[in-house]
Structure 1
Amino acid sequence: MDCENKDSELRKFGSSRTSSASSSLRRRSLSLSLSLPKHLNDDDDENESVSEAGDIGDRELQSNRYSGSGRLRLIGENAPEHRVVVPISEDTMLGSNAMSSVTPVSPIKLISQPDHKENDEKTEVPWVLEYTSCLLFLAVFGILGVLLRYGLQKLFGPGIVGATSDHSYMYLDLPSNMVGSFLMGWFGMVFKEDISRISSQLAIGLSTGFLGSLTTFSGWNQKMLELSVEGQWVFVVLGYLLGLFLVAYSIIFGIETAKGVNWLYRRANMNSSNSGTDYHWRVDSCKRHLIVILFLLLILASLWGMSIGLEVHEFSSSSPKAQLWLACIVGPFGVWIRWFLARLNGRGLGKSGQLKWVPFGTLIANVSAACVMAALATLKKAVNTETCDTVASGIQFGLLGCLSTVSTFIAEFHAMRGSKYPWRAYVYALCTTLISFVLGTLIYFVPVWVENFN
């Protein structure tokens, strides 16, 4: 009898212990679900991803660091798709002393898996190295974007092809905006993930630095303002509508061609022994980051040194090319500012995060660059000297041309068109162009018209 009583008491104790542990686990599971941010519903999650389609600034480095090191991230913090939810038995939670007769309740546990099957435990790269290499990539690619934009202006301008001009709705920066939007479909959307597996800083440099500097929204807006001063209002409307239409279909064409090339490549390597992606060149260690930083420093020093030397020579001789070399000197600063502003994309307004679908970082960069460019254009009209024209034009073409972007803007526009609410794309485009044009009119058109500048 004593043994039976003890056995009964033991069962009651085990059952009560298991019941309390089970209820505790349920409370933890419930508190975890309640503690998750409210924006984890489908609409808010889509709004945030749409707003972050183009660029998220230095937040992208932080997300790559967490995903690369295998640390746990929740959905609200840009969690990747390879974070999985698996059930674990209550026996595991309670330890080896759990009664074998207890029925498991299967609570939920979040675990993280490595990004790749062959991803072994790797050395943690200091944050400062990643940040430094990213800034250098942005600067180098920013200067290259300025040079290519200048070359496309000269190629398609009145001097050679004659397809664009300052006095037509086919504005001078239209070819570079189209080319940059097309390449954005390649390197900023389809192949960005593949490039990021080698170096996330390289992917940022290509999309944000090179393509963002190759395209310019402020130059586009300024040409429309100058047409409005001349009374060419039909050209102004056509310039905005045709410009938006051409860059929108440029990125679509880029995405479709990139997907086709990607399909052909994967099909050609399907039966190959080396069908997987080669990660031997991945920049994932301190040594490789230092090598990349030194290499980029050498390139940036060469580009800046060449630009400064040519600027001094051309400026003293009052050559028009002095504007280009000054633009190469100040261009990287515009890229850096835009990259820092991009961290506002997907954050919304206030603590509650209202209007998360609006990429406020890109909007602020484009509108502010358009306003400053209009102010410098007014200054050139008022002062009307060669020195002022050279300095102001160099800042316009370099700093403000790199601060504003069409490639990121059109990537966000394209993402909104493919979302649940495609009307938001047109609202976003209308707000960007309308705010920039209205403020530009107050800064440029009204003073030029009132003072009757030539």
Structure 2
Amino acid sequence: MDHGTADSEPRRSGSFSCRSSANSSLRRRSISLSAAVPVHIDDDIESGIVSEAGDIGDRALHSNRHSESGSLRFSVDHALQHGVAAPTSKDTLLDLNGYCSRDPPTMNTISPVSPLPDEIFSPLSTDAIVCSEDKKQDNKIELPKLLDYALCLIHLAVFGILGVLTRYVLQKLFGPGVADLTSDENILYLDLPSNMVGSFLMGWFGIVFKADICAVSDYLAIGLTTGYLGSLTTFSGWNQKMLELTVDGHWVLAVLGFLVARGFRWLLTRQDVSTGSGTSSSSSNWRVDSCKRHLAVMVVLILMLGLLWGVSGELLKREFSSGSSGAQLWLACFVGPPGVWIRWFLARLNGRGLGRAGLFKWVPFGTLIANVSAACIMAALSTVKKEVNSQTCDTVATGIQLGFLGCLSTVSTFIAEFNAMRESKHPWRANAYALITIFISFGLGILIYSVPVWTKGYG
């Protein structure tokens, strides 16, 4: 999140300007912090923010969901700059996710005691990237809720399909027959290049050029990160390749394959955040800041989606009977968008914790559920392919795996969350989160895929 720019406009002393979380709440206002004012942040609130380093889904978009807990927008610039105590009444407690809420954990004051740890504000937000608060943010038009949702979903769909196509191209480019660097037979699995590229690009789109992308359109930021990069990278495909290695008895390679995630984190953090120049004056002409421009963008994207689906449908009809990889790809383009949408909706669980008490807020349950469920369904479909062993079943199952499940699961968000936890006050949580995700996915995968293959002796 952008936290290095303080609001220069004067505010009344000790006041918190709150406004209702309406449809434009997609553009969450960052908490502007003065570098000269150290503050102390409650650990429980930090946990919630760190777990939202990846996705927050449609939570910031849907005003009704916020109203359930009395959530309100707010600005704390003046309080932070002047050491003003935050309100701690039952109805309005400070929530550093960007809202005044009735329910979040109590934080009695904003006290100039210790410096604000940079780690609680992750530089990444792969679902609803937020930009620093400025005058231009306040001038953005508030769109009707239905149009807000439609814009998000159409961006996710189009960029999700582009992510599927890029992942397929990278599989073919680095796989057998071309570069011959990856295969299903070793630790360098077919989806490794796409996972590496996606993690690398997340650093650029999520850190270096984040402000510039937000200056053009918040929906573009969602499309690029959650839609494109989330679909370009796939956790379920990664997990399945490790399961297939265990079936062949290559347990050591399977374990080493999971350690490749360390390399993804390295790629994610190589960019220099100081190179982000923010919004330049020349970008104002490209800013989508009116209802007309939003509608124009939506029309263009609808035409693109129609073209992508139309071409995919025609090519699928031609190649389906052949059972070629092309047929699997065109089917994947049809079923990919629902996977992105489900992941986006599940992301609302990130930063919420369990139950009314919000236990384990530091665990991004939305991403965890998306990755684990996709890995389990992927394993189940692989078992079905072994059992049925027909061309039609193989085409349909592989298309669903490549499209729907590849878009439902994500490595880029997983690594972004892992990195945020490593940079927090509790770095052990990163390893705990990784182990929870991998052990559950891999353990259930063994029961769903490996055990049936071993017991029935599938070839």
Instruction: Using the TM superposition, give the Cα deviation of residue 86 of structure 1 relative to its aligned residue in structure 2, in angstroms.
Output: 8.6
What is the DSSP-based 3-state SS (H/G/I as helix, E as strand, rest coil) of the residue aligned with 1:370? Answer: helix
Instruction: Using the TM superposition, give the Cα deviation of residue 192 of structure 1 relative to its aligned residue in structure 2, in angstroms.
Output: 2.5
2:266 — aligned with what? Answer: 249
8 Å contact kept, 1:82–1:115: no
2:319 — aligned with what? Answer: 314
1:172 — aligned with what? Answer: 190
Structure 2 gap ranges (5+)? 1-13, 19-39, 83-108, 110-131
What is the DSSP-based 3-state SS (H/G/I as helix, E as strand, rest coil) of the residue aligned with 2:355? Answer: coil
2:121 — aligned with what? Answer: none
1:201 — aligned with what? Answer: 219
1:15 — aligned with what? Answer: none
Instruction: Using the TM superposition, give the Cα deviation of residue 120 of structure 1 relative to its aligned residue in structure 2, in angstroms.
Output: 6.7
2:394 — aligned with what? Answer: 389
What is the DSSP-based 3-state SS (H/G/I as helix, E as strand, rest coil) of the residue aligned with 2:61? Answer: helix
Instruction: Using the TM superposition, give the Cα deviation of residue 318 of structure 1 relative to its aligned residue in structure 2, in angstroms.
Output: 2.8
What is the DSSP-based 3-state SS (H/G/I as helix, E as strand, rest coil) of the residue aligned with 2:285? Answer: coil
8 Å contact kept, 2:208–2:274: no
Structure 1 gap ranges (5+)? 1-27, 33-39, 67-72, 88-107, 109-113, 267-273
What whole-Å deviation, never above 9, does each CA across 1:191-242 have from its counterpart, x for those lacking one? 334322321111011000000000000000000000000001111111111x
Across the two proteins, how many residue pairs are aligned to each other?
371
Q: How many angstroms apart in 2 are the aligned matches of 1:436 and 1:120? A: 43
Q: Do the aligned partners of residues 232 and 129 (structure 1) sit closer, same or farther apart at CA in structure 2, a change above 3 Å counting?
A: same
Q: Do the aligned partners of residues 306 and 248 (structure 1) sit closer, same or farther apart at CA in structure 2, a change above 3 Å counting?
A: same
1:44 — aligned with what? Answer: 44
8 Å contact kept, 1:331–1:401: yes
Q: How many angstroms apart in 2 are the aligned matches of 1:164 and 1:189? A: 29
Q: Do the aligned partners of residues 124 and 320 (structure 1) sit closer, same or farther apart at CA in structure 2, a change above 3 Å counting?
A: closer
1:292 — aligned with what? Answer: 297
Instruction: Using the TM superposition, give the Cα deviation of residue 188 of structure 1 relative to its aligned residue in structure 2, in angstroms.
Output: 2.3
2:175 to 147, 157, 164: 157
8 Å contact kept, 1:222–1:373: yes
Q: How many angstroms apart in 1 are the aligned matches of 2:77 and 2:266? A: 32
Instruction: Using the TM superposition, give the Cα deviation of residue 245 of structure 1 relative to its aligned residue in structure 2, in angstroms.
Output: 1.6
Pick the structure with more helix per residue. 1
8 Å contact kept, 1:126–1:286: no
8 Å contact kept, 2:383–2:449: yes
Q: How many angstroms apart in 2 are the aligned matches of 1:43 and 1:277? A: 41
What whole-Å deviation, never above 9, does each CA across 1:271-298 have from its counterpart, x for those lacking one? xxx9646333322322111111101100
What whole-Å deviation, never above 9, does each CA across 1:389-434 have from its counterpart, x for those lacking one? 0000000010000000000000000100000001100110111011
8 Å contact kept, 2:343–2:408: yes
- Work out which of the two has the higher radius of gyration on C-alpha atoms and give 1 or 2: 1
2:437 to 418, 432, 446: 432
2:156 — aligned with what? Answer: 138
Identity among equivalent pairs (%): 63
8 Å contact kept, 1:367–1:435: yes
Q: How many angstroms apart in 1 are the aligned matches of 2:262 and 2:72? A: 34
What is the DSSP-based 3-state SS (H/G/I as helix, E as strand, rest coil) of the residue aligned with 1:161? Answer: coil
Q: Do the aligned partners of residues 275 and 307 (structure 1) sit closer, same or farther apart at CA in structure 2, a change above 3 Å counting?
A: closer
Q: How does 1:39-438 map to 2 (within 5 A)?
A: 42-61=42-61, 79=74, 82=77, 84=79, 115-117=133-135, 123-241=141-259, 243-253=260-270, 255-256=271-272, 259=273, 261-262=275-276, 276=281, 278-438=283-443
What is the DSSP-based 3-state SS (H/G/I as helix, E as strand, rest coil) of the residue aligned with 1:321? Answer: helix
Q: Which moved more, 1:185-194 or 1:402-411?
A: 185-194
8 Å contact kept, 2:343–2:370: yes
Q: Do the aligned partners of residues 297 and 353 (structure 1) sit closer, same or farther apart at CA in structure 2, a change above 3 Å counting?
A: same
